[in-house]
């Protein structure tokens, strides 16, 4: 079986994870949520490791911790993600995953620009700040009753600013990425458009 890479990038809570998972299931491709690599690195740093040691020592169990989805974990991830040596430590694993036989979908911030610039299909998934904040709020507020929508919006904007402004592998669409704005799309509509884009690339 041949390798076939679908690179999906975009800002926080744009819907890229949901779309990536659905595209992978549709085509029977493997899926890697690369944000988990940075979230797990950030979690190990919060426990006292240096960022580089944390990124170099990631294990499969580290990626399965149940505290990686919180807002705090996202903020910690975006801080370690600005460190070039941390990013460098994670490149080989991601590129190996991308070229596994049978197809792979990776989502993140720099998949189409840095990790897999030759990916067969590149999508940049985005949505308005307000839409993204509402989605993230709906996801996080059940387990965090004190959370406010305004706080979620501020955290997303801070994280996007950090991800877009960093010198190494900043968040931006690849020149040849198809931009998918999900602000006014249902999940099914967004997935259908992404599946159609992959079919064009096959």
Annotated binding site for ATP: 10-18
**Cα(60)–Cα(23) distance, integer angstroms:** 23
Nearest residue (CB) to ligand C5P, 51 versus 200 = 51
Helix then strand then coil, in percent of the chain rounded to 5, is: 55, 10, 35
**Could you tell me the smallest distance in angstroms from the CB atom of residue 81 to ligand C5P?**
3
Read off the tokens for 177.
């990425």
Residues at the interface with ligand C5P (CB under 6 A): 12, 34-35, 38-39, 74, 77-78, 81, 108-111, 159, 163
**Could you tell me the smallest distance in angstroms from the CB atom of residue 14 to ligand C5P?**
9
Nearest residue (CB) to ligand C5P, 15 versus 108 = 108
**Cα(87)–Cα(113) distance, integer angstroms:** 13
**Could you tell me the smallest distance in angstroms from the CB atom of residue 197 to ligand C5P?**
19
Strands (E), the chain: 5-9, 30-33, 104-108, 121-126, 178-181
Nearest residue (CB) to ligand C5P, 35 versus 103 = 35
């Amino acid at each position: 079986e041949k390798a076939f890479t679908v690179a999906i990038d975009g800002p926080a809570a744009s819907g890229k994870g949901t779309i990536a998972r659905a595209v992978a299931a549709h085509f029977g491709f493997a899926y890697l949520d690369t944000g988990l690599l940075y979230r797990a690195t950030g979690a190990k740093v919060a426990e006292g490791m240096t960022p580089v040691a944390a990124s170099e020592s990631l294990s499969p169990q580290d990626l399965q911790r149940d505290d990686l989805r919180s807002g705090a974990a996202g903020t910690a991830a975006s801080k370690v993600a600005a460190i070039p040596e941390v990013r460098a430590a994670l490149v080989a694993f991601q590129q190996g995953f991308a070229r596994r036989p049978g197809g792979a979908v990776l989502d993140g911030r720099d998949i189409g620009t840095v990790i897999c610039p030759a990916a067969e299909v590149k999508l940049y998934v985005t949505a308005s700040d307000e839409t993204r904040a509402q989605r993230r709020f709906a996801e996080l507020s059940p387990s965090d009753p004190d959370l406010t929508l305004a706080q979620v919006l501020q955290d997303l904007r801070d994280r996007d600013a950090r991800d877009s402004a960093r010198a190494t592998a900043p968040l931006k669409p690849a020149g040849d990425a198809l931009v998918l704005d999900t602000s006014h799309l249902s999940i099914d509509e967004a997935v259908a458009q992404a599946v159609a884009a992959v079919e064009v690339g096959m």
